[in-house]
Chains A and B, each alone.
Chain A
C-alpha cells in the first residue's frame, strides 16, 4: 500500500469506526422512520387517488376493447372526456393523462397501454411546459405508483433518470417529502383555522366539485379565482422568445411516433387551451406554437392548437376555466364537441 496511508493505532481506529457506525445507524434509523411516514402521506394526495382510480379502471377493462386513448398532462384529463366520444362518436375510449406527464412518461405509459389495448387512435395533449422540461421526478413516481409492469419501470429509471434523480428515487424520504409536507401543511392549516376561528375569505375560496368521473376523466366545475385573472396568474411573466423543446423530450416524442406507427395507431397532437386572460399575458406564443407545429409537421402528425383556434373562434371564455390554465367541465364540453367536428372535417376517423 502507499506509504502515506498511515493512520493511528488500532484502539483509536476501533473507537473511530464505532463512533462512525453509531452515527450512521442513528441517522439511517431516523431516515427510515421518516421515509415510512412520508410514504404513508402520499396516499392522502388526492391526485394520487385519481391516478389509482384511473389505472384501476384501465386494468379492469376488457383486453383490446379500447379504440381511442387520450394521454398527456393534466390538460388532457381536464379536457378530453371519454364519455363524450363514446356517446357522440361511438368509440370505446379512455383517458390516461396524468399530472405534468412528460413525453418520456407518455412513452412508457403508452407501452403499458399497448400491452393491454390496441387503440386505433392516440390523442396526445401537448402542453409546452412539459415539452420544455428535461426531467421531473414526481410525475415519474406517480406513474410508477399505478403502473403494473415492473420491467418497464426499471427500464424507465435506467434510461431516463439522471444520476441525481436515481438517488432521490431510491430514498423514500426524498421521494415522498413533498407529499408529506403538503399533507402536514393542510393538517396545520385546518387546526389553526379552527383554533383562531379564521375562515377563508370569499375571493380565496373555490366553490364546487372536483372528482373522478368515468374512464379516467376528472370532472370539475370550479371557476377561476379572482386573483388568477391578474395577481397570481402563472403565465404573467412568460416570454416564449427563447422557448425550445427539451432534447430529451424530443427524443421520447420521436419514440412515441415510432411506437404508434408500429402498433398501427393514428397519433394526433392537440394543445388544450389556457384561459384567454392567461394567453394574453404570454409574449411570443406564436414561437411556442411554431416549435411544436414544426415537430408535428416533420413527423407528419396532425396538430391542433386550441390556443390558436380559440383566439380566432372564441370558443371558450375565462368562465369556462377552473383555474388560469385548465378547463372546467363546461369548457371541456365545448372543446370536445369542437374537436370531434374538427377531426371529422379533417377526415380523421376515431374508430
Chain B
C-alpha cells in the first residue's frame, strides 16, 4: 500500500479510529493486524518471509539471552546473521551475482552453466532485515532484554509506518513506545497531520514532478548534453531528498498521530559543510546503523590511518551495496568513502574556518560532490554514468544560445507550466529548509501568529491538491531497497 494513495488514507483513518477506541491492552494486536494488511496489500505471499525473518530473530535473541556461554552466544549470533543476510542475499543479490558471472563467462567466451533467472524483490526487505539484525545484535551486546512475546516482536518489525522504507528503528527506542499507553491528544493529531502534509508536499508535488526530467535524461543519456546532465543531476538530488524524506515525514507524522514518536531521519542534509556532516544528516537511521554495527566493530576511527581508510571505505561500499545489487550503487558508496578520506586529509592540511564565506563554500562544495555521486546512483549502468560524467561540459559553451537552451528545456518532457510550478514548490521547500536551521519548521511556525501558520499550511494543501501528481501513483524510490 502506497502512502500516496487514497487506499492508504482510508486505511489510516480506520486504524486511527480503532486505535483510540480500543482499550490499551488490545491496541497492539490491532496494530499488528493493520501492519500485516498494509504489507499484504502489495504481495500477500511475501508476508511469510517477514514472519519467518522476525521469528528467526525472536528465537535466536531469546537463545542468546538465555545462554551463559560466550562461545555459544557468539555462534548463535553468527547463525542469526547468516539467516538475516542470507535471505537478503538470496532475494536481493543472487540475480545480480548470477548475471555478473554470466557476463564474465560470456566475456571470456565460455559457456555459463546456469540459465538467467529472476527473483521478486520483497518490498522493504533491506529495512526490516536491518531492523531485526540490529535488535539481535543489541540483545547479544546486552544493550536490551529480548521481547518474550513473538507477536509483539513481530509488531516491532512490521510496524506499518516505517515497515517498508524506515526509519530503521532500534528496539531500545521503538519497542517501549509502541506498547506504552498513549491517550488521545489533539496536539499529536495536529502535529502528525502537519508533518504528513509536508511529506506529501515533498513527494507528490516535487519528487513526482521532477522525476519526469530525471527519467527522460537518465534513461537516454546519449540524447542529451552537459546542460541537461547538470540540471537533471541537481533535480535528482532534489527528487531523492523529497521522495525519501517525504516518506519519512509521512511515516513520522502517521506514527505521531498514534502517539508514537519515531526518530528523525533527515536534518537538512544539503546544508552540510562536509561529506562527514552530510552523513550525520542524511538517512540518519541507516548511517547510525552502519556506524554502530559495522564501522565501530571494524575499529572505527581510533586505529591506524591505513586501517581507518579500510574501515571507512568498507562501510561506505557496503552501504552502497545495501541500496541495490548494481555496480552503480557500489561506486556511489565508494565515492562517498573516498570523499571522507580526502576530507580528513584536507582538514589536516588546511585549518577549518568558521566565517560566513567559508561556511557558504563548504556547503556549495559538499553539495556539488553529493550531486556528482548521485549521477552514479541514478544512472542505469556504470557505462551510462561514465558517459554522463565525461559529457558534463559537452554543450556548456552554448549556455548563452537562448534558442538552444530553450529547446533543451523543452526536450526534458515536463512541459513549461509544470516546470514553473515545480520550481515554485522547490523555492518554498528551500526557504523552509533555510529557516529551520535550529529546529524544524513545524516547531518554528507553532510560535508564529495563527495567520502565518494558516497561510503556510493552506499553501501546502493547495499545492498538493492543485499541482500534486496523481496520474500513476508512483512508488517511493527507497521501496526498491
A residues contacting B by CB (< 8 A) are 2, 4-8, 16, 19, 22-23, 26-27, 30-31, 34, 137-138, 163-164, 166-168, 173-174, 177-178, 181-182, 184-185, 187-189, 192-193, 196, 198-201, 204, 231-232, 236-237
Is B406 engaged at the interface, CB distance under 8 Å to the other chain? yes
Is B20 a contact partner of A4 (Cβ separation < 8 A)? Answer: yes
Whether a CB of chain A sits under 8 angstroms from the CB of B119 is no
Contact A34 B417 (CB under 8 A): no
Known A-B contacts A7-B186, A34-B466; the reply to A185 vs B415 at CB < 8 A is yes
**Residue ID in chain B nearest A178 by CB atoms:** B471
Interface of A is mostly: helix
Q: Are A181 and B402 in contact (CB under 8 A)?
A: no
List, in ascending order, chain A residues with CB within 8 A of B410's CB. 189
Q: Chain B residues near A27 (CB, 8 Å)?
A: 458, 461-462, 465
Does B220 lie at the interface of the complex (its beta carbon under 8 Å from any beta carbon of A)? yes
Name 25 A/B residue pairs within 8 A (Cβ), A-sorted. Answer: A2-B20, A2-B23, A4-B24, A5-B184, A6-B183, A6-B184, A8-B186, A16-B186, A19-B454, A23-B454, A23-B458, A30-B458, A31-B462, A31-B465, A31-B466, A34-B466, A137-B471, A163-B10, A181-B415, A181-B417, A181-B418, A185-B415, A188-B416, A196-B406, A198-B406
Total contacting residues, chain B, CB less than 8 A: 40
Interface check B106, CB cutoff 8 A: no
Contacts of A5 in B (CB 8 A): 20-21, 184
Is B183 touching A174 in the complex (CB atoms < 8 A)?
Answer: no
Top-9 shortest CB links A-B: A185-B415, A184-B417, A188-B416, A167-B6, A164-B6, A185-B417, A198-B403, A27-B461, A34-B466
5 more contacts with CB within 8 A, not counting A30-B465, A164-B473, A178-B471, are A2-B23, A7-B186, A34-B466, A189-B416, A237-B219
Is B69 interfacial (CB 8 A cutoff)? Answer: no
**How far apart are A242's CB and chain B's nearest CB, in angstroms?**
9
Contact, CB under 8 Å: B20 / A164:
no
| Docked pose: A144 CA to B23 CA in angstroms | 47
CB contact list, B401-442 vs A, under 8 A:
402-403, 406-407, 410, 415-418, 420-421
Cβ of B5 within 8 Å of any chain A Cβ, yes or no, is yes
A7, B186: Cα distance in complex, Å: 7
Q: Check if B7 is an interface residue, CB within 8 A of chain A.
A: yes
* Complexed CA–CA distance, A196 and B23 (Å): 67
Cβ of B417 and Cβ of A188 under 8 Å apart?
yes
- Taken residue by residue from 210 to 240, chain B's Cβ proximity to chain A (1 for < 8 Å, 0 otherwise) reads as 0000000001101100000000000000000
Are the C-beta atoms of A231 and B220 separated by less than 8 Å? yes
In the bound complex, residues from chain A placing their C-beta under 8 Å from that of B24 are: 4
Give Cα A27–Cα B7 distance, bound, in whole angstroms: 22
The answer, yes or no, to whether B150 is at the interface (CB within 8 Å) is no
Neighbour of B458 across the interface among A16, A26, A187, CB < 8 A: A26
- Contact, CB under 8 Å: A182 / B470: no
CB-CB nearest in chain A for B21:
A2
From known contacts A5-B20, A8-B186, A163-B6, infer whether A188 and B403 are also in contact, taking CB-CB under 8 Å.
Answer: no
Give chain A residues whose Cβ lies under 8 Å from the Cβ of B183: 4, 6
B117 contacts partner chain A, Cβ-Cβ < 8 Å: no
Contacts of A188 in B (CB 8 A): 416-417, 420
Q: Which residues of A contact B454 (CB under 8 A)?
A: 19, 22-23, 26
Q: Known contacts being A23-B458, A181-B417, A185-B417, is A4 close to B406, with CB within 8 Å?
A: no
B450 within 8 A of A: yes
Least Cβ distance of A318 to chain B in Å?
Answer: 19
Kindly state the separation between the CA atoms of A173 and B457 in the bound complex, as whole angstroms: 19
Contact of B470 among A23, A174, A192 (CB under 8 A): A174
A74 and B404 CA atoms in complex are apart in Å by 32
- Taken together as a complex, chains A and B put the C-alpha atoms of A237 and B380 apart, in Å, by 12
**Contacting residues of chain B (79-106) with chain A, CB-CB under 8 angstroms:** none
Given A189-B410, A192-B406, A198-B406, are A232 and B418 neighbors across the interface (CB < 8 Å)? no
Does A201 lie within 8 Å of B184, measured CB to CB?
no
Q: How far is the CA of A136 from the CA of B6 in the complex (A)?
A: 16
Specify which chain A residues have a CB less than 8 angstroms from the CB of B415 in the assembled complex.
181-182, 185
Partner of B184, one of A4, A177, A204, A236: A4
Complex CA–CA separation, A232 to B222 (angstroms): 11
CA distance A31 to B462 in the complex (A): 7
Contact A185 B416 (CB under 8 A): yes
Cα-based distance from A22 to B455 in the complex (angstroms): 11
Docked CA distance A321–B24 (Å): 67
B462 pairs with A231, CB closer than 8 A: no
Enumerate chain A residues within 8 angstroms of B458, measured Cβ to Cβ: 23, 26-27, 30
Cα–Cα distance between A177 and B208 once the two chains are bound (Å):
14
Report which of B450, B466, B467 forms a contact with A19, defined as CB distance below 8 A: B450
Measured between beta carbons, the chain B residues less than 8 angstroms from A232 are: 220, 223
* Residues of chain A within 8 A of B465, CB atoms compared: 27, 30-31, 34, 173-174
Q: Look across to chain A and name the residue whose beta carbon is closest to the beta carbon of B10.
A: A163
Chain A nearest Cβ from B185, distance in angstroms:
8
Using CB atoms, name the residue of chain A closest to B457.
A23
CA distance A2 to B461 in the complex (A): 33
For the complex, give the distance between the alpha carbons of A205 and B186 in Å. 58
A204/B416 in contact, CB under 8 A: no
The 8 Å CB contact of B7, one of A164, A173, A187, is: A164
By beta carbon, the residue of chain A nearest B415 is: A185
Q: Do the beta carbons of A177 and B466 come within 8 Å of each other? A: yes
Closest B residue, CB atoms, query A231: B223
Tell me how far the C-beta of A191 lies from the nearest C-beta in chain B, rounded to whole angstroms.
Answer: 9
Chain A's nearest CB lies how many Å from the CB of B190?
8
* Complexed CA–CA distance, A232 and B20 (Å): 54
Q: Which residue of chain A lies nearest to B118 when distances are taken between CB atoms in the complex?
A: A242
A178 to chain B, nearest CB (A): 6
Report chain A residues within 8 Å CB of B418: 181, 185
Minimum CB–CB distance for A197 against chain B, Å: 9
**Would you give the shortest CB distance from A189 to chain B, in whole angstroms?**
6
